[in-house]
Amino acid sequence: MPIDKDIVAKVSNLARIKINNDQLSTISNELESVIEWIDTLNEVNTNGVEPIANVSGQKLPLREDKVTDGGYSEKILNNAPEKESGFFVVPKVVE
């Protein structure tokens, strides 16, 4: 699967990472070689094999749907690059 500069530009936009134009061709070459290598997985017959995400064999515990935490917005905002009146500040998004 060839990965050209347009694909890298599209993926970097999806990932919200600003990449300089002069880096696009290096990255597309590197991604292409990694994806080619990953394509070796196609040699494996996985018909009827379940995809697996949980490897511990442990059942995920359930708990009551109750609030058990909270009430410290001050602490949470401590690391915010910009805050005002108990809120995170972002650029204006609605006109």
Q: Residues interacting with other proteins, by CB under 8 A?
A: 3, 7-8, 11-19, 27, 30-31, 33-35, 37-38, 40-44, 46, 49-58, 60-61, 63, 72, 75-76, 78-82, 88, 90-91, 93
Lookup: tokens for 49: 């094999």
* CB of residue 46 to other proteins, shortest distance in Å: 4
DSSP at 88? E
Least distance in angstroms from the C-beta of 45 to other proteins: 9
Least distance CB 67 / other proteins (angstroms): 15
DSSP H/E element including 9: helix 5-14
Question: How are the residues of the chain apportioned to helix, strand and coil, as percentages rounded to the nearest 5?
Answer: 40, 5, 55
